[in-house]
Amino acid sequence: MCLAIYGIVAVLIQTGLLSSFYQITLINVCINIVLAVSLNLIIGFTGQFSLGHAGFMSIGAYATAIVLRMMPNMYGLLIGAIVGMILAGVASLAVAIPTLRLRGDYLAIATLGFSEIIRIIMVNGGSLTNGAAGLSGIPKLNDWTISFVAVVLAVTVVANVIRSKAGRNCIAIRDDEIAAEDMGVNTTMYKTMAFAIGAMLAALAGAMYASYFYVIKPSTFNFNASINVLIIVVFGGIGSITGSIIGSLVLGVLTTMLQDLAYLRMIVYAVVLIIIMIFRPQGLLGDREFSMRTFKRWMTRRKGTAADDKAEG
Amino acid sequence: MIKLKVDNVSKYFGGLTAVADVSMHVNEGELVGLIGPNGAGKTTLFNLLTGEDEPDEGKIIYNDDRRAYELNGLKPYKINQLGLARTFQNIRLFKKMTVMDNVKVAAGQAVDYNIIEAIVRDPRFYKQEDVIAAKAESVMKMMDIWELRNELSSALPYGQQRRVEIARALATDPKILLLDEPAAGMNPQETKDLMQLVRQIKKQFKVSVLLIEHDMSLVMNLCERIYVLDFGKLIAQGTPEEIKHDPKVISAYLGGE
């Protein structure tokens, strides 16, 4: 199914049916999927409320941009992304070890503070980060193929972590940290692990961003950026990977569709969010996953009831 | 052989003495009861044993087959890995997980594979996951909750949640099982079944059991030895028969003159 989606979109782009305007939306959706899925690992599955995702993303973006300046080719992009992910991983450990003993709101504030620190570092980074103006002229190497691979990579990593011992431990921590620790789960270690994996994937999203939009500046990765990712996660369903994917898609398409409405755009966007939160406070998918199997079961059940109705009629 | 030894342990919360100079022990394969009026410090003592709190004074010693460990200051997960597992007075299951996954969390701790193996799904991952599943299955069948494996744990009735909690504790392969009011909220028939079950667990899993309980008939019938706490102090210990006739116990429970 993955290949089918990839193929169809690739053909659409080749034949020019998908204009470059919509391609921007497409890449944006891909970046948001990587961000949302990785944040969902931290918030939705491990229950650690982090508001620092944009900070980790910016580490990836800057690392990629700086490496690409030295070697403006595909190897540069690959090396930049890897360097960014490693740096983000190290940074996440530095944040996690003192802050993960905090809970709920306190952790949110601490991670928020951290991402602001990163932003200030970028602003004051001298010639390396070029201050508030940011870095520009980054070669545009990212395209649909690369973005798609990145999305598949991120989703696979998170899905495989969730469906393993580590994932069960994370969910156990979310549901009851004291009980988890008493059942032999090293809670500090697993929280840190989830945090680090999430941060590294956020850096990957940063690399995708830097190599597509030519320009990065510190203000791109501010508090609002973290909140936007949080909105997608909550909208799609906290604790649902497919929810995050669908959330990114729906909100991405919605933003594009509302582009013409100018000022009204944010209002309509907000209204849609409010409506969803009223009628589905658990998000679009809640904590369930969407799979072809459940879809088929749902279809056969509907067919079944239809057949029953006929038989009775 | 003494498996667990509590040596002159005290715990203070501000000015309140929750546990005062308590000494006790649990022998291998023994069923020991811990009773006392509400607020006597029973659960606090459990928390000290499992590492959620640290004693202010005294020592807690756990004896493995090979050596003795001091439990003071160890993290709860370490203590669990050494061989102590507990249930909770107010059930603490992983609510949004299935019964199966609840038990698998506990069963998984002894099984080792790293995160990279999980991400790339290497053969060792599948092999180790099978080991976890098999272990969870055997514990769940023994506890008679196998049929409930795909239910969400929070959707179960109270008595079954208690069973799941005990199964989860057993899946960590404990040497000592600590049960905090296992019969709370159960009707007389369920309590009877529970007694049977505890005896069976003790035999089959070769564990020592330390249990807190308010239900006197359960404690008197089940336990080989009983400790009585009141206001944090140990006021009596002995066989059920001795405890029944101990004047201090009677006055603690019924009020002195």
pTM for the whole structure: 0.90
Inspect the interface and report whether the beta carbons of A179 and B118 lie closer than 8 Å. no
- Residue A13 is assigned to a structural domain of this protein: no
Nearest Cα neighbor of B75 from B108, B53, B42 is B53
Statement to judge: residues B6 and B39 lie in one domain = yes
Task: Please give, rounded to a whole number of angstroms, the shortest distance from the CA of A180 to a CA of chain B.
Answer: 8
* Residues on B contacting A at a C-beta cutoff of 8 Å: 50, 52, 75-77, 80-81, 85-86, 88, 92-97, 101-102, 104-106, 108-111, 113, 115, 118-121, 125, 128-129, 132, 168-169, 172
- Residue A7 is assigned to a structural domain of this protein: no
Statement to judge: residues B136 and B159 lie in one domain = yes
- Residue B188 is assigned to a structural domain of this protein: no
Statement to judge: residues B162 and B111 lie in one domain = yes
- Residue A281 is assigned to a structural domain of this protein: yes
CATH number of the domain at A305, please: 1.10.3470
Inspect the interface and report whether the beta carbons of B118 and A239 lie closer than 8 Å. no
- Residue B200 is assigned to a structural domain of this protein: no
- SS3 category, B111: coil
Exposed/middle/buried for residue A227 (C-beta within 10 Å: 0-12, 13-18, 19+) = middle
CATH number of the domain at B128, please: 3.40.50.300
- Residue B250 is assigned to a structural domain of this protein: yes
Give the span between the Cα atoms of A182 and B214, in whole angstroms: 23
CB contacts < 8 Å between A and B, how many? 95
Per-residue pLDDT of chain A (313 residues; tens, 9 = 90+): 777 888 888 888 777 777 778 888 999 999 999 999 999 999 999 999 899 999 999 999 999 999 999 888 999 999 999 999 999 999 999 988 888 777 777 888 889 999 999 999 999 988 888 888 889 888 888 888 999 999 999 999 999 999 999 999 999 999 999 999 999 999 999 999 999 999 999 999 999 999 999 899 999 999 889 999 999 999 999 999 999 999 999 999 888 888 777 778 778 888 888 888 888 888 888 888 877 777 777 777 666 655 555 554 4
Nearest Cα neighbor of A108 from A72, A247, A116, B107 is A116
Inspect the interface and report whether the beta carbons of A183 and B113 lie closer than 8 Å. no
CA distances from A16 to A21, A43, A143 (A): 11, 39, 15
- Residue A35 is assigned to a structural domain of this protein: yes
- Residue B154 is assigned to a structural domain of this protein: yes
Nearest Cα neighbor of B176 from B198, B203, B206 is B206
Inspect the interface and report whether the beta carbons of B119 and A161 lie closer than 8 Å. yes
Statement to judge: residues B111 and B146 lie in one domain = yes
Statement to judge: residues B65 and B9 lie in one domain = yes
Statement to judge: residues B50 and B67 lie in one domain = yes
Statement to judge: residues B30 and B69 lie in one domain = yes
- Residue B126 is assigned to a structural domain of this protein: yes
Joined tokens for residue B255? 């009020």
Total domain count, chain B? 2
Domain housing B24: 1-83+176-182+205-257
Statement to judge: residues B117 and B132 lie in one domain = yes
Nearest Cα neighbor of B163 from B136, B187, B182 is B182
Inspect the interface and report whether the beta carbons of A183 and B132 lie closer than 8 Å. no
- Residue A198 is assigned to a structural domain of this protein: yes
Statement to judge: residues B100 and B145 lie in one domain = yes
Q: Check if the interface score ipTM surpasses 0.85.
A: yes
- Residue A36 is assigned to a structural domain of this protein: yes
Task: Please give, rounded to a whole number of angstroms, the shortest distance from the CA of B192 to a CA of chain A.
Answer: 27
The partner residue sitting opposite B77, judged by closest CB among A171, A176, A185, is: A185
Phi-psi region of B37 (alpha: psi -120 to 50; beta: other; left: phi over 0): beta
Total domain count, chain A? 1
For the stretch B151-168, pLDDT in tens is 999 999 888 899 999 999
Task: Please give, rounded to a whole number of angstroms, the shortest distance from the CA of A177 to a CA of chain B.
Answer: 9
- Residue B197 is assigned to a structural domain of this protein: no
Reported as a pLDDT band with limits 50, 70 and 90, residue B191 is confident
Inspect the interface and report whether the beta carbons of B94 and A180 lie closer than 8 Å. yes
List of chain A residues whose C-beta atoms are within 8 Å of the C-beta of residue B120: 160
- Residue B199 is assigned to a structural domain of this protein: no
